[in-house]
Amino acid sequence: MNLDKLSEILKNEPKFRYAQINKALFQDYISVWSEASSLPKILREQLTAECPLEIKAQIFKTAGGRKSEKALITLTDGEIIETVLIRQRGEKTEKAETVEKSTGRNTICVSSQAGCPLGCAFCATGMNGFSRNLTAEEITEQVIFWARRLKAEGKGEKIDNIVFMGMGEPFLNYAEFIKAVKFLNNPETMNIGARRLSVSTVGLTEGIKRLAGEKIQINLAISLHAPNDSLRRELIPVAKKYPLREIFQAVDNYISRTGRRVMFEYLMIKGVNDSDKNALELAELIKNPLYMVNLIPYNATGKFKPSERERIDAFKKILEKENVPTTVRLSFGTEIAAACGQLRGKRKGYV
């Protein structure tokens, strides 16, 4: 979709066309202009010829049930990016077997860059190199893609959350990232509440500071993954530039300006960062009542192995004993390699 081209075409149209087109594109999620019945036929034909709505994508999904789906979207220059629709199961109700309509939640995970230049040792995206930043339009297009898919299913399902946890580091592409956030949040376009938007950063303090100054308050998550600087530097090369002390300072400033909770993500990697000692060290860092920890079961992508389930439980127990609010992320979609950059890396010979 080319929004600049669209504005150019609409230049000589009456003002109310914008509202009609916003509704058609971002609320009714049309995928061809012929569906925009409020527009005159001649305009629909011109838009079809000059401003096509097609999003080129290939979908990967697991068999049966309410599972995650992943799409590889091909951008106009041939770059390929990943986006995931995570269909979390809802609470089981007594009628669950008979009711088609799901009570689950739909979370969309979007990429902010094609690849990532930061090369974290555990991350498939980081291992596959960096091509370029995405534009705000390419970021929002990922959401529109899934919104169209949910609409086509006809079950009345909506997007509940959007997380910037796909390929890339959003704060290395701050301007386009925040432009996309504002577009998604705008009541005239996508109208997705700020509380339903989350960004994850590997700890770039400049970005944390800029986000603290924004009027729009989305959720912030920090990829910590290690409880001390020396282990962190082994896993995350850019940690050399951003010591934990500075990250926590930036987070505290963010909390004092926004009053929001901050999530610390911690990948559980077998024999690397998952010992009892690591848990105690982590608990030492997580002192603010507005901090919380999310333990993420690792998806094996290379030299590392995931921690066993029992180890994750034991690690969680230690944190909780130290009064650290801790959750364990559901291991969604491992079958479709639904973590950061894995599918794009594997796509030769996959499925």
* Shortest distance, position 104 Cβ to ligand SAH, whole Å: 21
Say whether residue 296 binds ligand SAH (CB under 6 A): yes
Say whether residue 307 binds ligand SAH (CB under 6 A): no
Contact assessment for residue 182 and residue 216, using Cβ atoms and an 8 Å cutoff = yes
Burial class (CB in 10 A: 0-12, 13-18, 19+), 91: exposed
* Shortest distance, position 64 Cβ to ligand SF4, whole Å: 30
* Shortest distance, position 115 Cβ to ligand SAH, whole Å: 11
Starting at the earlier edge strand, list the strands of the sheet with 105-109: 57-61, 69-74, 80-88, 105-109, 161-164, 197-201, 219-223, 262-268, 291-297, 326-328
Distance CA 220, CA 310 (A): 28
Say whether residue 222 binds ligand SF4 (CB under 6 A): no
Q: How far is CA 120 from CA 22, 127, 173, 241, in A?
A: 39, 7, 17, 14
Whichever of 60 and 298 has its CB closer to ligand SAH, that residue is 298
Q: Which of 82, 141, 176, 265 is catalytic?
A: 82
Say whether residue 122 binds ligand SAH (CB under 6 A): yes
Question: For ligand SAH, which residue of 134, 267, 283, 285 counts as binding (CB under 6 A)?
Answer: 267
Q: Which does 36 bind (CB under 5 to 8 A by kind): ligand SF4, ligand SAH, none?
A: none
Contact assessment for residue 186 and residue 178, using Cβ atoms and an 8 Å cutoff = no
CB-CB neighbours of 271 under 10 Å:
10
Say whether residue 299 binds ligand SAH (CB under 6 A): yes
Stretch that binds ligand SF4, among 75-83, 99-107, 114-122, 175-183 (CB under 6 A): 114-122
Say whether residue 301 binds ligand SAH (CB under 6 A): yes
Q: For 168, what's the count of Cα atoms within 13 Å in the CB-facing half-sphere?
A: 27
Contact assessment for residue 235 and residue 122, using Cβ atoms and an 8 Å cutoff = yes
Whichever of 180 and 202 has its CB closer to ligand SF4, that residue is 202
Task: Give catalytic status of residue 82 as yes or no.
Answer: yes
Question: For ligand SF4, which residue of 68, 106, 107, 125 counts as binding (CB under 6 A)?
Answer: 125
Question: For ligand SF4, which residue of 73, 85, 118, 336 counts as binding (CB under 6 A)?
Answer: 118
